[in-house]
Amino acid sequence: MTTASLAHRVTPARVLRSEWHKLWTLRSTWITLVATSALTVAMGAGLGAAYDGDGEGQLDTVVLVLLGTQFAQLNLGVLAILATAGEYSTGQIRATMTAVPRRLPVLWSKAAVLAAITLPLTLWTNLLTFPLAQYFLSGTDQAAALGDPGVLRALVGNAVGLTLLTVTALGIGALARSVPLATGAFIGLVMILPEVLAMLPYDIVDDAVRCFPGRALEALTTAQPTPGATSPEAALLAMALWAAASLATAALFLRRRDV
């Protein structure tokens, strides 16, 4: 093998670096990440300041503080979809697959890059939002500290859950190859389908609904799980399986379909 061929050989590290560069050079990436973090912090602080102490402790403290992550789900999900389905809409995917004929390293690299960005961003945002909101919640029934049982676990769990949800959205985008279609499927999976299924009067359906990504994320965000609710361990497993299934299905179709 010549020196020139070695210099231009496709390696996992080079594919990963390429996907990292492509994502960070997009203005939409910066806007989405800043907006996601700022909105979560602002909503946490705002809810803390507006809380009047009449909630009688019905809502978990961490869930209350991190209500802004409901919007983060959409923001990060759309960002992940744009990273995959967006390339099909612009035609850039042809150049990407020409450079990486084996295809699958591209999908794994996109997932790794999104996870490497999402996890520290959401974790940092959560650790900033919680004490800021608690500054206003001091003296109320929602007052809590990072050292209280379940609080730190819930903050970290929410960040891990959002990361897995983002990877799930990336797989959906790679599978749908259309930004509108993938966005609709993602919103339906996270927000609409669980609510529709929950109306069915069957216990087995109720158990299944708890394992949907949106419901599992709620369980991960709860500092003190309520009796009968999904445990954090089961919720984490469910979200990991959703992410794995999404990527595995996308990989299967990526190998069998033309670009």
pLDDT at 57: 53
Residue 35 forms part of a structural domain: yes
pLDDT under 70: residue ranges of the chain: 1-8, 54-57, 258-259
pLDDT at 54: 64
Residue 180 forms part of a structural domain: yes
pLDDT at 8: 58
Number of CB atoms found within 10 A of residue 85's CB: 26
Residue 197 forms part of a structural domain: yes
pLDDT at 254: 85
Range of the domain at 106: 9-256
pLDDT at 27: 83
DSSP conformation class of 201:
-
Domain tally, the chain? 1
Residue 238 forms part of a structural domain: yes
DSSP 156-185: HHHHHHHHHHHHHHHHHHHHH--HHHHHHH
pLDDT at 81: 94
Distance of alpha carbon 87 from alpha carbon 156, whole angstroms: 32
pLDDT at 102: 79
pLDDT at 205: 85
Residue 1 forms part of a structural domain: no
Residue 2 forms part of a structural domain: no
Residue 249 forms part of a structural domain: yes
Q: Look at phi and psi of residue 230 and say left if phi exceeds 0, alpha if psi is from -120 to 50, else beta.
A: beta
